[in-house]
């Protein structure tokens, strides 16, 4: 495996976690009528921030910089998703579906990283 792929995938994973942080923050803000779901989202936000920090530490150890462009792209995507969700009457269910799909994407990304390392 070429090192450049591993480096790029780590940058992608970092941008993915930044996107997740933004998605979870905007979801949590709009769940005032769903306290149990909001608590679980807040818990996952904490896990996501922890994961993002772990990635940053690993990348620093390996001498790999994060990509400001990819991180910004992830945050912008999250902003677009949040805006789209606000228009829907069923935004809580749609948010749950989007979060489930995003978690599957995260799992696949980390499996690829594990296989490549
Ligand atoms: Fe996650």
44-82: per-residue pLDDT in tens? Answer: 999 999 999 999 999 999 999 888 878 888 877 777 777
What distance in angstroms lies between residue 63's CA and the mean position of ligand 1's atoms?
25
Q: What is the pTM of this model?
A: 0.86
What domains lie within the chain, and their CATH numbers?
Answer: 3-116 (1.20.1260.10)
Q: Which range (36-45, 71-80, 100-109) has the least confidence? A: 71-80
In angstroms, the Cα distances linking 2 to 5, 7, 79 are 6, 9, 33
Is pLDDT above 70 for 104? Answer: yes
Note the pLDDT of residue 95. 87
What distance in angstroms lies between residue 3's CA and the mean position of ligand 1's atoms?
25
Structure tokens belonging to residue 18 = 């930044």
Is pLDDT above 80 for 113? Answer: yes
What distance in angstroms lies between residue 87's CA and the mean position of ligand 1's atoms?
24
What distance in angstroms lies between residue 106's CA and the mean position of ligand 1's atoms?
7
């Amino acid at each position: 495996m070429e090192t450049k792929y591993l480096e790029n995938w780590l940058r992608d994973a970092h941008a993915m976690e930044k996107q997740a942080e933004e998605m979870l923050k905007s979801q949590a803000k709009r769940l005032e009528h769903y306290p149990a779901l909001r608590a679980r989202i807040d818990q996952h936000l904490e896990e996501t921030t922890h994961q993002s920090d772990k990635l940053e530490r690993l990348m620093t150890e390996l001498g790999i910089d994060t990509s400001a462009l990819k991180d910004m792209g992830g945050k912008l995507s999250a902003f677009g998703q949040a805006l789209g969700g606000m228009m829907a009457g069923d935004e809580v269910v749609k948010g749950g579906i989007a979060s489930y799909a995003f978690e599957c994407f995260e799992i696949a990304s980390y499996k690829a990283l594990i296989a490549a390392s």
